[in-house]
Each structure stands twice: as C-alpha cells, then as structure tokens.
Amino acid sequence: MLPITTLRAGEAQKLRGLLFDLDDTLLDHGRLGEEAYSALFRLREAGLELYVVTGRPAGWAEVLTRMFPIQGAVAENGAIFVVPGDADVRLLDPLQAPERALFRARLVELVALMQKEMPELVPAGDVGARRSDFTFDIGETQKLAPALIARARALAEAHGASTLVSSVHLHVGFDRADKASGAVALLGRLTGVDATSALTRYAFIGDSENDAACFAAFGTSIGVANLRGRATVAPRYVTSAPRGMGFAEAARVLIERRGER
C-alpha cells in the first residue's frame, strides 16, 4: 500500500466521485466528528459526487441521504439502494417482493438456529431497520472471539447463506450482492456510467473486511490507517491517520491534487 500523499494529480482529476464506508472510516467508534463531516462538504465543493457504501441498514441510509451532502447510498453490503426523490428519498430493492419475503422467512429460521447453537450471538442494535440481512454484534458493544465468529459463519454458510464481517458486525443473509457490485449498480442507475467507467472514475475509501470487494474492484482505493480484517486485495493507498481523521486526510489530498496544474 502506498501513502495517500503519493496520489498523483492526474489520478485525482479524472475522478467523478468518492464512495465511502461509515463505521471506522467516516465515523469514530460510531460517532461523526466535525472534521470528517466538514470534509464531505469540501469534497462536494471540489466537484466530486459522494455516495455512502455501508453494511449499515436501509433505515440508516434513508436518514443519511436526507442529512448528508450525498447523491445516494448503498446499504446492507450492496443489497439495498437509497436515492433522493422529488420530495423525499426512495428506497430501491433489486428483488421483487415475493423473493424478498422468501429470503426473509429463510433468514428468520436460520437466525433462530444460530442463536440456539451459539447463545453468545447477540443481535446488533440496528436489525430493526434492515430489509435484506441480519446482523450480530461482534465488536460494537461486545467483543466476540474470532473462533466463535468463524463457527457462526460456517453454520450460516452450511445452510446456504452468505456472510460478511465488518469492524462491528457479522452479517448473515441470502442476497449475493457485495459493496462493489451494489455500488456499480447504483452508479449505473443514477449516472448512466458503465461498469468500466465506474471502477476507474470513482474512488473508494474503507477500513474493513466487508470492504474487500471495493478494494479489489476500484482503481483508486484507499484504506484508513485502522485497516483490519483479511481483505484478499489490499487498497492501493492508505492514510496515516485512523477513522474519521483518516477520511479527512484523504479528502484533503484529493482536493489538493484536483487543484494542481
């Protein structure tokens, strides 16, 4: 990984936008700092489109799309989109209602089995705002042992589910989306860019294992200094500061390079 300060002006100037993770990337242990939030406005002023790409629920994405200076959000690790509407925000689910209902019923059964087998698994506080997956708290209010997380993932996957781990949650669901495919799909809907253009004209910044698909897919990929997990492809650049301060650091470099001649 290269220091973010090595980013060249030409690479920054070709970008149309920045995709960003929330937990431990923009947020500091769940809290939004002034410098990170201010950086969003500076990035917009520099001409960049902004999109949240998060494992957090659709309900969060609806609120953030109203409050943040962003063009839209990818929620639940690529499964759900939220975009501004004429008078309000719109939630877009790629699945038709009958298929979504079937997935939900299977998920309820699987979660009950997992909790019976492993009572230590505690639902995350945001599950009520979710549409496509279920989350267990592994690092937000409690720390679970890696061996237990591995057992939980193996059980879920043995029953046909997909799993992802973020810095705070274990995600379980039957959608096959990931953050990269969800982001490319949303960009195509909103801007009309094809997949190749999306992967070269938009940058991504994140911190965790569930960001691995975006680190692998996007040409300009950035990790904040607290980067963790076992991403198969590391981000191209890394900041010197962690979390929200790292996000602000990356924003400053992007803005400065875009202004160079």
Cβ atoms of 200 and 13 closer than 8 Å: no
What is the per-residue DSSP string for 226-241?
T--S--SS--SEE-SS
Cβ atoms of 230 and 167 closer than 8 Å: no
Residue 229's pLDDT is 65
- Average pLDDT estimate for 181-199: 96
Q: What is the mean pLDDT of the chain?
A: 96
- What share of the chain in percent tops pLDDT 70? 98
Q: Which structural domains are found in the chain, ordered by start?
A: 2-94+177-259 (3.40.50.1000), 97-173 (3.90.1070)
Buried b (16+ CB within 10 A) or exposed e, 74-106: bbbbbbbbbbeeeeebebebbbeeeebeebbee
The pTM is what? 0.93
> What is the tens place of the pLDDT at every residue in 121-179?
999 999 999 999 999 999 999 999 999 999 999 999 999 999 999 889 999 999 999 99
- Average pLDDT estimate for 172-201: 96
Residue 85's pLDDT is 85
> What is the tens place of the pLDDT at every residue in 196-233?
999 999 999 999 888 999 999 999 999 999 998 665 78
- Exposure of 67 by Cβ count < 10 A (0-12 exposed, 13-18 middle, 19+ buried)? exposed
CA-angle at 131, arms to 130 and 132, nearest 5°: 105
Closest CA to 81 of 179, 166, 168, 210: 179
Query: Which band of pLDDT confidence, cut at 50, 70 and 90, is reported for residue 86?
Result: confident
- Average pLDDT estimate for 248-254: 98
- Average pLDDT estimate for 59-66: 96
- What share of the chain in percent tops pLDDT 90? 93
